[in-house]
Amino acid sequence: NAGVTQTPKFQVLKTGQSMTLQCAQDMNHNSMYWYRQDPGMGLRLIYYSASEGTTDKGEVPNGYNVSRLNKREFSLRLESAAPSQTSVYFCASSATGAGLGYTFGSGTRLTVV
Amino acid sequence: QQQVKQSPQSLIVQKGGISIINCAYENTAFDYFPWYQQFPGKGPALLIAIRPDVSEKKEGRFTISFNKSAKQFSLHIMDSQPGDSATYFCAALYNFNKFYFGSGTKLNVKP
């Protein structure tokens, strides 16, 4: 099925470890996004990529880096994980900007101990 | 500071009743207002959306009411069903590129 695929679905990290969350879409969308979801906070934008070759910071970029590898793939890296980064991470994509809404992946549940 | 404020946090409605979720915003540059529905373990999915030049949009049992002067919009679910039990997020689009989301409302429709 067409859509946004995130890997892994679950991950437990120790404080200070690094990891990369992977996201790929097969809808030929130009724009891709990383959000984190925390209870009572809704979804907060970490980074986004309006088009291949560009990335920009969102509301909560500290502690994260991103790479838009090609039009399909947008990865999120935690260089030195902290317990405050325990969250559910969602990748999303949209055709042109976000005017038609996002398509979200099913999320990665990350726990940092 | 939350750009979009959503209420209530949780809502219990009897089957057949009307569910109402409210959102408010301050930034007049927002120009597109969708609602997303999220089931446990899944990503949010676009439910219905409205642009600020329209005061109401209806799709089946779901209606968005939009009050531009008050900077408020709401989701109404008519004839609520147990299958509607989910978390609902309002959102507002900025600069054609970024959505700001409300904090979410967990809806429980009792049979």
Q: Which of B77, B100, B82 is nearest to B90 (CA)?
A: B100
Cα–Cα distance measured from residue B102 to residue B2, given in angstroms and rounded to the nearest whole number: 8
The answer to whether B46 faces chain A, any CB pair under 8 Å, is yes
Q: Which pLDDT value is given to residue A97?
A: 56
Q: Which pLDDT value is given to residue A1?
A: 61
Give yes or no for residue A7 having a pLDDT over 80. Answer: yes
Q: Out of A92, A97, A104, whose CB is closest to B97?
A: A97
For the residues B73-91, what does the mean pLDDT come to? 97
Residue A99 pLDDT grade (very low, low, confident, very high; cuts 50, 70, 90): low
Give yes or no for residue A98 having a pLDDT over 60. Answer: no
3-state secondary structure chain A: CCCEEEECCEEEECCCCCEEEEEEECCCCCEEEEEEEECCCEEEEEEEECCCCCCEECCCCCCEEEEECCCCEEEEEECCCCHHHCEEEEEEEECCCCCCCCEECCCEEEEEC
Q: Which pLDDT value is given to residue A101?
A: 75
Contacts of A44 in chain B (CB under 8 A): 101
Q: Which pLDDT value is given to residue A40?
A: 80
The answer to whether A53 faces chain B, any CB pair under 8 Å, is no
The answer to whether A105 faces chain B, any CB pair under 8 Å, is yes
* pLDDT tens readout for residues A57-81: 999 999 999 999 899 999 999 999 9
Give yes or no for residue B95 having a pLDDT over 90. Answer: no
Contacts of A89 in chain B (CB under 8 A): none
Contacts of A99 in chain B (CB under 8 A): 32, 93, 96
* pLDDT tens readout for residues B45-55: 999 999 989 99
Q: Which pLDDT value is given to residue B108?
A: 98
Using CA coordinates, name the residue in chain B closest to A58.
B98
Question: What integer best gives the mean pLDDT of chain A?
Answer: 92
